[in-house]
Amino acid sequence: MVETMREGWTELEGWTDPEQSVAKDAFERAYGRAVERLVDALRSRAAGLHSAESVWQLHDYLSIERHTMEGRFDFRLDGILFVFASLVKDDLLTIDELAGLDAEKLAKIAAMSRF
């Protein structure tokens, strides 16, 4: 998944090279945290597997989570500020971890993360 994200990072219009580096690092860090959360949730759910029905419920949960993560972490250049705001809102990223982006971008991310 992380390799796929990197492919979208070619010549970001309006983004300096240092900003691109900050954005890449933050995006990958948030992805790692999301995976950690998923693994923790799976450990907890797996402990409760006692029937075929509970296995299928776990399967359904994983399918939904995979769809959610692939959608969320499919990097699109035109919507990255929205993605960062969502990640900040869900505590997968902090505004401080985006330090290095220009003030206007940070202000937009901070404002959008409140909703």
**Residue 11 pLDDT > 70, yes or no?**
no
Please name the residue that has the structure tokens 């933050």: 26
The whole-chain average pLDDT of the chain stands at: 89
CB contact set of 97 (below 8 Å; sequence gap of 6+): 25, 26, 29
Q: What local confidence, expressed as pLDDT, does residue 33 receive?
A: 98
Identity of the amino acid at 74:
D
Q: What local confidence, expressed as pLDDT, does residue 4 receive?
A: 44
Question: Whole domain around residue 95: which residue ranges?
Answer: 2-8+15-112
Which residues are paired to 96 by β-bridges? none
Q: Which two tokens stand for residue 43?
A: 């450990």
**Residue 1 pLDDT > 70, yes or no?**
no
CB 23 within 8 A of CB 101: yes
Number of domains observed in the structure of the chain:
1
- The helix/strand/coil state of 6 is helix
**Residue 27 pLDDT > 80, yes or no?**
yes
Does pTM surpass 0.75? yes
**Residue 40 pLDDT > 70, yes or no?**
yes
